[in-house]
Structure formats: structure tokens, C-alpha cells
């Protein structure tokens, strides 16, 4: 699915680093893919889940939240406590741990997003998506005036918006939100995580963000050439401290690294087939 976002191809490491510095200064949210997909489709709308009906997707979401809480309530840390009572926050935590969801992960750090754009598939170009979060905060708030039922008092006041009022209903308005986890846990904090979420399933977030921001200068896509990936991984680790171990600072992340003691025949960086010997900085962000 081709994107209609303005796109720039970055052909040198210096070009990439200059863009990252610029994005950091502008406070844009960023997301990285190690392959060029040309769209922003949530995991619950991809692959084998794409054919599920609306009811089935809502049921799967509810089941995943309930199953998570039935176990996590015994050992969740302080930063995860809100996920035990707030459904949207529960989906944020689940998304960060790879559970299929209608949410997409973003980062306030373009360096983190770049890591995920270069961590894998060295034979293919990667991509970084970015948009103006401060501008979204202004324009996104106008959505609730169109759908006052999304606010706790029916006023349409942005301060009264609550996603849970309409997110899980059969018939719901077509909104998109960009949100931060209210109190982070180690993995969330390390990745400076944020999320986009839509009330509807099966919609490209890139298309919805383009429509909402209504200005091509407020969102952009960058392609990183495949031949830059290895060098950029070294630069991110040595100069910015960004690698697999720093982005997944928990026991699950440590166990992932420990798998490197058992090299695989074919190097791969996803969580099911990680080869530390081949490349210690690799990890596949895309479920």
C-alpha cells in the first residue's frame, strides 16, 4: 500500500544523523520499520488477523486484556498498576510486549525509532515515519467537538475526553489519538514510548494522520538505504548507547540476549530467532 506522505531517501550516515537531530529538536514522534511497508497498519489488522470480523477483533482484545490482568495482578510493578483498571493503558502495555493490538508504537526519540529501522533485514531499506506531535495536540483536540459522546460530560471539551467511552463499542466515531503511557515501566521508559490508536480497525494510521494534520509539512517519511544499517547500528550503540540491551532493560530482554549463547544457522533478529553472535544490536520491532 503506497503512502501519500512526502518521502525523502537518506543515502549517507551524515544525512541520517542530521535528520535525527532535527526531529529531536522539533519534538516529533517517530516510528521505525526495518522494511519499507509504505503504510502504518496495526498488527491486529495484518496477516492472519486481517480477516477477523469487527466482533472477533473486539472479543480478542477483551480476552487478551482479561488474560493479562488475571496473571499480572500478582506481580505488576508500580508503573504497570494502571493497566489493571484502565483498558486503554492495558493495551499499551500489551502492545509493548508484542501482543496484537490496534495500537502502533512510536517514540519521542528519533534515535530509538532509527534503531528499529536498521535492526534487521540488512538487504532491504528501512523507513522512519515522523509527525508533529505538538501540532497533533492542537488539531486532535478538535475531534471531540465533532463527537461529544467521547467526553465524560458530553461537552466535547478536550480535557474531558476518555477513549474508553467509545473505543470498544460496535458503532463508534472515527477518531485517532496519540498518547503517552501515564507512568512508565522500564521498557517503556527506555524506548521513550508513545502510541497512536484509532477507534476503528483496519485503517492505515498514516492516512488518518495525514487527514487530521492537513499539512504535508507536519509529517514525513524517511527511507534509510540498506547499506547504511550496519554502520548506523555501531554509531547508535557507541555514541548514543542505543542497542538491544538498553531498549529492553528487563529480565525478558536479558533472556533475549542470553539466547546468543546458542547461535542459529541463519542469523535473524526477531524475538523467536535471535542470534547475538551474528549481531548484538539486532531486534525486530515489528511483530
Give which of 233, 236, 161, 174 is closest to 201, Cα–Cα. Answer: 174
User: According to the model, what pLDDT value does residue 134 have?
Assistant: 94
pLDDT reported for residue 284: 39
Q: Taking the domains of the chain in order of start, what are their residue ranges?
A: 7-238
> What is the pLDDT, as a whole number, of residue 122?
96
> 10: which strand partners?
224
Q: Which residue has the cell 525509532?
A: 113
For 30-80, what is each residue's pLDDT tens digit?
999 999 999 999 999 999 999 999 999 999 999 999 999 999 988 888 888
Please give the grid coordinates belonging to residue 108: 519521542
CB atoms within 10 A of CB 263: 13
pLDDT at position 269, please?
46
Q: Rounded to 5 degrees, what angle do the CA atoms 183, 108, 80 make?
A: 20
User: pLDDT at position 155, please?
Assistant: 96
**Confidence at residue 252, expressed as pLDDT on a 0 to 100 scale:** 85
Q: Tell me, what's the pLDDT at 278?
A: 32
Question: What's the confidence (pLDDT) of residue 76?
Answer: 83
Provide the β-strand partners of residue 61. Answer: none
Q: Cα dist. 55→52, 59, 134, 268, 283 in Å?
A: 8, 6, 34, 35, 33
Sites in the chain below the pLDDT cut of 70: 1-3, 264-287
Amino acid at each position: 500500500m503506497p503512502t501519500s506522505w512526502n518521502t525523502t531517501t537518506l543515502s549517507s550516515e551524515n544525512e541520517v544523523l542530521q535528520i535525527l537531530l532535527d526531529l529531536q529538536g522539533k519534538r516529533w514522534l517517530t516510528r521505525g520499520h526495518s522494511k519499507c511497508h509504505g503504510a502504518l497498519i496495526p498488527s491486529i489488522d495484518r496477516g492472519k488477523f486481517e480477516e477477523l470480523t469487527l466482533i472477533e477483533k473486539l472479543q480478542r482484545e477483551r480476552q487478551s486484556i482479561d488474560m493479562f490482568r488475571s496473571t499480572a495482578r500478582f506481580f505488576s510493578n508500580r508503573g504497570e498498576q494502571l493497566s489493571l483498571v484502565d483498558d486503554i493503558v492495558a493495551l499499551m502495555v500489551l502492545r509493548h510486549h508484542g501482543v496484537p493490538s490496534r495500537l502502533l508504537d512510536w517514540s519521542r526519540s528519533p534515535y530509538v525509532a532509527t534503531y528499529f529501522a536498521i535492526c534487521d533485514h540488512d538487504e532491504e531499506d528501512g523507513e522512519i515515519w515522523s509527525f508533529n506531535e505538538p501540532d497533533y495536540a492542537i488539531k486532535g483536540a478538535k475531534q471531540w467537538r465533532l463527537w461529544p459522546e467521547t467526553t465524560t460530560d458530553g461537552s466535547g471539551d478536550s480535557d474531558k475526553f476518555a477513549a474508553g467511552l467509545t473505543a470498544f463499542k460496535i458503532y463508534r466515531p472515527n477518531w485517532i489519538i496519540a498518547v503517552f503511557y501515564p507512568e512508565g515501566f522500564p521498557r517503556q521508559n527506555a524506548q521513550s514510548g508513545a502510541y497512536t490508536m484509532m477507534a476503528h480497525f483496519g485503517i492505515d494510521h498514516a492516512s488518518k494522520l495525514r487527514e487530521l494534520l492537513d499539512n504535508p509539512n507536519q509529517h514525513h517519511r524517511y527511507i534509510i538505504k540498506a547499506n547504511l544499517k550496519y554502520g548506523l547500528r555501531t554509531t547508535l550503540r557507541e555514541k548514543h548507547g542505543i542497542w538491544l540491551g538498553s531498549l529492553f532493560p528487563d529480565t525478558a530482554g536479558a533472556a533475549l540476549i542470553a539466547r546468543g549463547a546458542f547461535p542459529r544457522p541463519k542469523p535473524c533478529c526477531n524475538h523467536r530467532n535471535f542470534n547475538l553472535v551474528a549481531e548484538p544490536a539486532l531486534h525486530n520491532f515489528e511483530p
